[in-house]
Structure 1
Amino acid sequence: MIVTLSVESHLAEAAKALGANRYQDAHAHCMSVLRTEGPNAEAFFLLGLLTAAHDNHAKAVEIFDRAIAVKARDARFHAHRAKSLLALNQRDAAAGAAREAAKIGPPDALTFDTVGVVFTRLGDHAAAIGLFEAAVAKDPQRADYHYNLAASRQFAGDFPGAEAAYARTLDLAPDHARALSAIVGLKRQDEADNRLADLVAAFEARADGDEETQLHLGHAIAKTLEDLGRHGEALDWLGRAKAGASARRGYEPADDAGLFEAARATAGAGGPAPDRSGWPSERPIFIAGLPRTGTTLVDRILSAHSAVRPVGELSNFALLGKRLAATPGPYVMDASTLAAAGDIDAARWGEAYEASVADLAGDAPRFTDKMPLNIVWAGHINHALPNARIICLRRHPIDACLSNYRQLFATSFSYYNYAYTLEDCARYYLGFNRLRAHWSATLPADRYAEVAYEDVVADLDGEARRLIAHCGLDWEPACLDFHNQAGSVATASSVQVRQPLYSSSIGRWKRHAEALAPMRTILEAGGVIDGDGNWLRGA
């Protein structure tokens, strides 16, 4: 006897199969509906989800568009279309799709959460918070929804709200590694109030678990031990946490050395002519350098000015370079793309960049783009946007390397793979420093400036005034009140930059002087420190 399923039954079976990763079954049920019933929005939607699950996001967008053509007023279709557009680095289109989903009104908690995640990845945490709150209201038993709400509250500066949401996440899922790590980072741990025992137990229970969980837990343990003054143990735990990830990634320092050399060739001898033929806007201010050297601090100082708006930590300039150069390969930032980008029409690139941040920048006279890795693109930035300002952060080499090592960067972002060993951090610093010195020698002094983190801490007023003047702006006292500034901070410094300036992170390396000896040897051989660890700034 042949049983013929109804359309509703086929779609229900397709959804069930998709949830169980039985993709062939899901595909068969959807195609049966389309063959017998013609265009069906739900069948197209499920096929789009299936296609996105296989990382074919360009095709997924096409299929979501077909679902929308049949049924335009379904927020789920727009939400997942936004998610795939974001995966394709089409940020403007993703933002539009996410706004449309929010406008229509998601029907369920998952869709609210999906739209919220898109907004967080676009840097709009203010918009994301309400969506995550709605997801939590519709499904209060889902730990991940509470975690997403907590993270956005943290980035927005609502630390009590973030702590409450992280705590609720842990009530629902006591072993939630990201929440355990994040709640520890919100405030200083002390002997009377810490989660060290829980963290160690969770780490040991996952001795054979996935490396990302180990990283989150190990970093949280190290942070707790640092707060408790047990500095040697903290460094040991970082080593344990990073060992598996370091081995699996197989990082090759030569790859980054080649990247830095390719970047050096994009300004000065052999690079684009240092003319002013690019897009003439002077609105952009690029804040670059190594991570964890004060880039967020400088961003907050500048964006406290009434004429300056922060647009976040964007990859737009690099993504446009990759797109316009049309180089093969999966990497946006590689030697071949840097070289090929010299043939891009400078004005076209600059205009496209400014257009790509139009929604975020609004009508502000100036805006800051705080992507540290833009230091690699500084030569091309000066060519495409000759009136833009570039500010490069510097910091004591050992403190900079230790801070990078202590930071848990996004594990999916391969450009930070150097941060898994102290020695690789040191080699990376030397490559960055040679590139920085090259920019200092070749880029116009009225467009490229350097600032040392230690100098900002020692003389906030003087350095802030110098930075504001470099950007061609009049002085405003509000720039000294950066820690009270409103707005989201979606970086590792989200907690620190909402506090008054402090100097406790300067010279942190001295707590670990003996353990850092191999790293110090590399930095000393590179000529950036002397035998006592003093910074040789002129090198």
Structure 2
Amino acid sequence: MDTRLEEAAKQLSQKAYRAAHALCLAALKDDPQNGDAFYLLGLLTSDHENFARAEDLFRTAVRHRPGHAAAHAQHARCLLGLSRRSEAVEAARRAAGLGPADALTLDTIGVVLSRAGLHAEALPFYARATGADPGHADYHYNHAAALQFAGEMQAAREAYRRCAALDPGDTRGLPAVVQITKQTEAANETAPLEALFARHGGDPDAALRIGHALAKAAEDLGQPETALAWLARAKAGKRAMIAHDPAADTALFAAAARTAETLRGQTSGAAGAPVFICGMPRTGTTLVDRILTSHSALTPAGELTDFALSLKRMTRTPSNLVLDPETLDAAAGADLTALGKAYMASVSGSLGLSGRFTDKMPLNILLAPVILAALPQARVICLRRHPADTVLSNYRQMFATSFSYYNYAYTLEDTAHYYAEFDRLVRHFEEALPPERFTVVQYERVVTGLDSEVRRLLDFCGLPFEAACLAFHENTAPVATASSAQVREPLYTSALARWKRYEAALKPALDILDAAGCLAPGERSAT
């Protein structure tokens, strides 16, 4: 490599972007087809999250140097950032085919494949990355998460602990261990977590991770009031930053309700019979997905954004949001056949699925009328759970901070308002959408009457009964959701009516649910 580019790489590793940029341009002046220079410029640009420009630079790098595995891998990462998943997977596989040995490239391939939903394919690349550079905490963390998704919980714990041990400032490893490990009086991580919070609690993202882990530990130890107190502390900093507007949620739900009317009677010629499992998060969507995909005729595709992205690309609405009122309203004028075909092509292109599959993106509930119009053979299953348990479980969950659609979950009050809007929408859909294609499943009924609910769901999907669906916990497919540990266990009822343990602290949320008519008369304790 040109010595100027070696220096540029060093400067880039130290975030000395101006110096690195100047050195790369000097090298390109002498050799306009220098793939290494374009690669380094791509890294510099992606560091600034300008994925469109970085994608162009990496594409140029691999055009001039086709055997540059790292450039292919980084190109894949940028394509994923641009929501071009099928292309990203192709680029990642090209990188893998070149036999890379460096840890960064191996880890990057793993990240792309994981985020594309190809968890089993990703796992060996993470393992090789940690082998190539065992002293890098980030690689162990990524490997641990992949092991967790694969159900290898003990190996995941060990990898999370290696991550924490390698980086004294790490705030990810120990909290992750706690999230997948039952805390007891005899063995718990409360003291080290409290020390970690004292050191890093001023960072809103670190506070979220550590505080949520402390809340989980408190719950395990039978201390619900302490758990809610930690959640409030954990969320405060981030809540102050995001400026969540509940009115935006109201507008989005109203637009979703309108689509049931504007698309009434419309249909398309697209083929494909996917099963969409949706609803609010933490209400049993993963459980139902595991039940159904234990059937020989259904494959899990994960939580896909493909349908929303296909609609956004087709309508070309101007906002920077994939899902917004304007895009939902524009669905009435969309070419439904083209939309259905685009979705099916997107899923099959990147995941290589043939036959029927499930799409478990919770937010697809907002798109239910559009889905049914664009895919005439599709089925939509909406999960519901007790209103107070839904609010509590969403508030307890640490969602990805980059995903703004779940920003309601930073306060109990916002979560309760969101649930009330969701409740109103689902009631409308139950009246407006065809019952042979849209059905509501109550989480509590699945837990207490598994056999009858499984048979009803399979019948709804047009599938014969298979006993494997009752033994869903034996399903070995990866699970990349917050329920990755729970769904590998037989059904349990300990989560039913959990809200009762928190009732006093939940009063502001319960008042909102009461006012919206979401709670049954007499459910609350007398005050």
What TM-score results when the alignment is normalised by the length of structure 1? Answer: 0.95
1:310 equivalent to 2:304? Answer: no
User: Between Structure 1 and Structure 2, how many residues are aligned?
Assistant: 525
Alignment correspondent of 1:59: 53
Cα distance in 2, alignment partners of residues 41 and 446 from structure 1 = 56
Per the TM alignment, residue 280 of structure 1 is displaced from its structure 2 partner at its CA by 3.5
Matches within 5 A, 1:112-511: 112-208=106-202, 210-268=203-261, 271-282=262-273, 284-359=274-349, 362=352, 364-511=354-501
- The one-letter amino acid of 1:166's match is Y
Alignment correspondent of 1:38: 32
Deviation by residue 1:86-105 (Cα, 9 ceiling, x = unmatched)? 00000000000011111112
- The one-letter amino acid of 1:275's match is Q
Cα distance in 2, alignment partners of residues 329 and 167 from structure 1 = 42
Cα distance in 2, alignment partners of residues 523 and 273 from structure 1 = 30
SS of corresponding position for 2:505? coil
Cα distance in 2, alignment partners of residues 107 and 52 from structure 1 = 22
Alignment correspondent of 1:102: 96
Deviates more, 1:366-375 or 1:17-26: 17-26
Aligned counterpart for 1:528 among listed residues 511, 518, 521: 518
Cα distance in 1, alignment partners of residues 47 and 242 from structure 2 = 24
Cα distance in 2, alignment partners of residues 420 and 313 from structure 1 = 22
SS of corresponding position for 2:10? helix
Deviates more, 1:100-109 or 1:470-479: 100-109
Aligned counterpart for 1:74 among listed residues 68, 71, 76: 68
Per the TM alignment, residue 175 of structure 1 is displaced from its structure 2 partner at its CA by 4.3
Cα distance in 2, alignment partners of residues 184 and 442 from structure 1 = 44
Cα distance in 1, alignment partners of residues 361 and 50 from structure 2 = 27
Cα distance in 2, alignment partners of residues 195 and 51 from structure 1 = 40
Cα distance in 1, alignment partners of residues 463 and 42 from structure 2 = 49
Deviates more, 1:461-470 or 1:158-167: 158-167
Deviation by residue 1:257-289 (Cα, 9 ceiling, x = unmatched)? 000001111112xx123233341422x100000
SS of corresponding position for 1:177? coil
Deviates more, 1:45-54 or 1:391-400: 45-54
Is the 2:85–2:350 contact (alpha carbons within 8 Å) kept by the matching residues of 1?
no
- The one-letter amino acid of 1:338's match is L
Deviation by residue 1:153-172 (Cα, 9 ceiling, x = unmatched)? 00011111111111211221
SS of corresponding position for 2:172? helix
SS of corresponding position for 2:259? coil
Cα distance in 2, alignment partners of residues 309 and 13 from structure 1 = 49
Q: Please, which runs of 5 or more residues in structure 2 have no aligned partner?
A: none
Distance change >3 Å, CA 360–CA 73, structure 1 → 2: closer
Q: Please, which runs of 5 or more residues in structure 1 have no aligned partner?
A: 1-6
Distance change >3 Å, CA 161–CA 441, structure 1 → 2: same
Cα distance in 2, alignment partners of residues 192 and 33 from structure 1 = 61
Is the 2:61–2:71 contact (alpha carbons within 8 Å) kept by the matching residues of 1?
yes
Deviates more, 1:436-445 or 1:345-354: 436-445
What is the RMSD of the two structures over their aligned residues, measured on CA atoms? 1.4
Is the 1:309–1:361 contact (alpha carbons within 8 Å) kept by the matching residues of 2?
no
Identity of aligned residues (%): 51
SS of corresponding position for 1:368? strand
Deviation by residue 1:293-337 (Cα, 9 ceiling, x = unmatched)? 000000000000000000000100001111111111211011111
